[in-house]
Every structure is written in C-alpha cells, then in structure tokens.
Amino acid sequence: MIKTNLDAFIQAIEGIKTITDPAQIAKLSQDYHTFSPVLVPKLAGKVGDIVVRPDNEQEVIKVAAACAKHRIPVTVRGAGTGNYGQCVPLHGGVILDMTQMQEVLWVQPGVARVEAGAKLANIDKKAREVGWEIRLAPSTYRTATIGGFIAGGSGGIGSIEYGFLADRGNILALRVVTLEDEPQVIELRGDDVQKVNHAWGINGIITEVEIPLGPAYPWAEVIVTFNDFMTAAKFGQALGVADGMIKKMIAIFASPIPQYFLGLQPYLPQGTHAALLMVAEPSLELLPGLVQEYHGQITYQQTGKGINLGEYTWNHTTLHARTVDTSITYLQSLFPPDPNLQLLGDMYHYFRDEVMMHVEFIRTQGRVTAAGLQLVRYTTEERLNEIISYLEGQGVFIANPHSYIIEDGGRKVIDPEQLKFKEMVDPYGLMNPGKSRVLGAGN
C-alpha cells in the first residue's frame, strides 16, 4: 500500500483501535493454512499493512468508508482458525480483526443473535444457561468466532444432526456492512443469507449473526476401539442412521491415527482403530448393544465434564498428528452416501498407510455420509495432486485444502447470486482480493 494512503486512512479512522507493530500484524495475517506444505510457500510473506479492531458497527462503517475512499484492500478475520488461507491478505491492506465485537445480543428458545466476533464457546455457554446450545461447531470452538465460522467454515461437530451451515435453516440472518463510499448496512434473512455464507469475506463485512440453537442435551463422551477399520466405519454409519439415538459427533480413525492422540493413550490400545463419540445421555444406554454388534470395545465413557473429545476431531485430528510428525498433511473430502461404505473401504485399502483414513459421519440433505479428513504422508506436491486426482476419479468429492482459491474448495463455483451481491457490496473489488478465480485470481 502506498504510504500516503495508509496515513490518510489512519487519520480517517481516528479513535478506532489499530495495531501497527509488524510482528503482531504478521501474526494476524496468518491462519492454519500451515497444515498445507503446498500453501505455506505460496502464502509466505503475505501480510497486511495494518490491523484494525473495531468495537462496534459504527466503527466498522467508518473503516469501510475509509477503505473504499482510499481503495485499500480489506481482509476480514475472526480467530484465524481456517485452513485454506481464507484470511491471509494477498495484497496487503487492512486486516479487519472482528474479535472485539463479541457480544451475545440475545438468546431466545431456539435462536440467538450475536456479534460476528463472538466466540462459539461463549455463545454456547450463554445459550446453555437457558437450555439451548449452538448446533454446529468446528473443533476450534474454544477460540473460533461465529463470523469466521460462517465466512470460512462449512460444518463440524453437530453436522450429524443438522447438516452443513449451507443447509437451509442453519443460519437465520446475517447483517453486513458494504465496502462503498457510503457503506450500507444490509440485513439478509431467509435464503438470502446464502449470498454471504462461505464467501470468505469477499461479500461485505459481517457484523451480526442470527443462528438457530439446538437443545442442550446432557452429552456423554465415549471412545470405542475396534480391531478392524471397516467394522469401525460401519459402526459409525449404523450410529449415524440410528434416528432414535441423539448424537453430535461420530469420528472414526484408522490405525495408526489414534497413536497421535497423546492425551488419550490410556484408552487407545496400540494398533486399534477408534471411534470418538458424543452421544446424548438419554441415548447412552443403547450404545453398548450397537457397539457389541460391531465387535467394539468401549474404553472410555464420561458423562458431565469430559476431556473434550471434540478437540481430537475434524481439523484438530490433523493438528495432533502434525504435533507428532510435521511431515503429515491432510485432505478434506466427502464420500457419496452408501450404507455399505464400498468406496470408503476401497480407498482405505488402496492407499493404506500413505493416506490414513479419518472420517466424520455427517448428515446432509437427508443422507448420512462420511466426510473424510484423511491424513497424508506428504512427499511431493505432484504426488499429493496424484492422490487427489485418483480420489476424484473414483467419485470422492475433494474440497482441496491445498489451494487458496475459493473455487477449488467445497463449492467449485461461486453462486451467481453471490457474484451479483458482490458487485453491489464491493464495487471496487477490495474485499479479500485474489481468492476467487472468477474474480480474476491468478490473472
């Protein structure tokens, strides 16, 4: 950014918290794309020029107006727990850190309205006080913000019950500030929320979010071990389709993945495959019968406060594995629904130890299926691409976490409605520029 521009910008937003210390800026220009040996060199050195931390929507509007006026790129971020480089600024500019706007505005039966920077764990805590809880959460729920989760995430713990964030009903309203000379504040409700959902912050600055809540069941955490991976996976599928049993997490890990879970070693005998579960206490009594059908062993079961098994699942699995072995990277994938898990079995046997199988059972559009977050023993980018191509060729859907291009991820194309909305809310193309192919990334 041209220095005079930056000076003028700083003057225009006087009174609003900023960070100008380069070390701090560098830190706040990062996310967890570091899981990818492919992304690391590509995003190396990409930093913002300044971090701005608004306290309220009025300040966001002021920042937006100043950015528009001075044509300064804006990269919005929450806790930076994304894995696709979503909040790494490719063209410098302002890092808009939303974590100061963290108020839970209200909680009603089944619904909460919160500021975009509210932490998921905090929303959950407030909701539980009145008998409800958040429906969906990434494994990073302790630090992740709701705005960041919606802008950059897709699902997680709870998806076995409620599907993905993109499924109708999982986001009720989004309030966004536009990047115009005179920024507007727009409230999107109903299906219109999809104009901003999972748009990586290219479509306006989310300031408030209204989300549905689920019932605050008393949850039990359970670990089950198996001698055979596919039996473990079939157990996961069977629990997934047991409609009378309430659960919010079914994570299945092929050996040797459980060995990376250092904190869980007492419950994970060497060489076994494992299921980490969260099951509602009223359904817990039915679990042993199902476990027995699949020849599993319950090695850990905790009602009330447990060891937070959620923090070993979804992307945390990769985090734990990389703590032990930094050469490990991962994939994000979705298997087609199939009660027999044929393709899952084929891919498990085909790659064996090179692509260690980790699946999370989810339900979306009425079908229970396996979302894969396979761990890959990385050798070269070429080999990684070969693995991805092979999986895609076999019918596995890949949301490639080794690309920072939106279209390479879960959506493949940016919805025309999103593009139309983009034109309106970001006429100068200043929001998270360079992340979308259709908007000219790589040109």
Sites of contact with its own copies (CB under 8 A): 109-111, 131-132, 161-164, 167-170, 172, 189-191, 212-215, 217-218, 240-246, 280-283, 285-286, 288-290, 339, 363-368
Q: Are 90 and 435 in contact (CB under 8 A)?
A: yes
The b/e string for 112-146 (b: 16+ C-beta within 10 A; e otherwise) is: bbbbbbbbbebbbebbeeeebbbbbbbbbbbebbb
Closer Cβ to its own copies, 17 or 168, answer by number: 168
Closer Cβ to its own copies, 229 or 361, answer by number: 361
Supply the minimum distance, in Å, between the C-beta of residue 249 and its own copies: 16
Closer Cβ to its own copies, 164 or 421, answer by number: 164
Q: Are 43 and 33 in contact (CB under 8 A)?
A: yes
Closer Cβ to its own copies, 110 or 256, answer by number: 110
Which residue is it, tokens 């998806």? 159
d(CA 160, CA 310): 13
The H helix count followed by the E strand count for the chain is 14, 21
Supply the minimum distance, in Å, between the C-beta of residue 66 and its own copies: 34
Supply the minimum distance, in Å, between the C-beta of residue 157 and its own copies: 15
Closer Cβ to its own copies, 281 or 346, answer by number: 281
Supply the minimum distance, in Å, between the C-beta of residue 214 and its own copies: 7
DSSP state of 337: P
Supply the minimum distance, in Å, between the C-beta of residue 366 and its own copies: 3
Supply the minimum distance, in Å, between the C-beta of residue 211 and its own copies: 9
Cis link prior to 256 (omega < 30° from 0)?
yes
Closer Cβ to its own copies, 243 or 382, answer by number: 243
Using alpha carbons only, what angle is made at residue 186 by residues 180 and 189, rounded to the nearest 5 degrees? 150
Supply the minimum distance, in Å, between the C-beta of residue 146 and its own copies: 16
> In whole angstroms, what separates CA 220 from the centre of its chain?
23
Distances in Å between the Cα of 431 and the Cα atoms of 67, 306, 348, 392 are 10, 41, 40, 31
Closer Cβ to its own copies, 191 or 382, answer by number: 191
H or E segment to which residue 75 belongs: strand 74-77
DSSP string, 85-145: -TT--TT--EEEE-TT---EEEEETTEEEEETT-BHHHHHHHHHTTTEEES-B-TTTTT-B
